Amino acid sequence: MAKRRKKRTQYTEADRKKILAAAQAEGLTAAQVKKRFGVQPVTYYSWRKKRGVTGRRGRRPAAGAGSLASQVQEEVRSRVRQILPAIVRSEVGSYLTSLFRRGGGRRQARRKK
């Protein structure tokens, strides 16, 4: 006997708002929303996307906007952005030189005597 599909539930706009607000306020994951409200994760994510609700992504910001750690990180990022192009250029250049120098690093065919 074939499985019966669960009947589709139509959620009103008010229901969606209530579920999204509760999920955001309590920091619920999609799995927790499914367990609590019975909403499939893909449905929950599509609602979030349409509403423009952002979830908890990435690392939390440092304690203060001008904290020492964030200043140091920004300084390091700035320095890396300055020196990285030269490093990449040098590495790519040396690799290409090794490829195209005489013989190209490949085995040469044997010459008949």
Tell me the pLDDT tens digit for each residue of 63-104.
Answer: 566 688 888 999 999 999 999 999 999 999 999 999 988 765
- Between 59 and 1, residue with greater pLDDT: 1
Contacts of 22 (CB under 8 A, 6+ apart): 28, 36, 37
First CA to last CA distance, the chain:
79
pLDDT over threshold 80, residue 105: no
| Every domain of the chain and the residues it spans | 13-51, 69-103
pLDDT over threshold 90, residue 53: no
Contacts of 34 (CB under 8 A, 6+ apart): 40, 41, 44
Note the pLDDT tens digit of each residue in 2-34. 788 878 888 999 999 999 999 989 999 999 999
State the maximum Cα–Cα separation within the chain, in Å, rounded to a whole number. Answer: 89
Contact criterion met (CB below 8 Å) for 74 and 68: no
Least confident of 45-49, 87-91, 108-112: 108-112
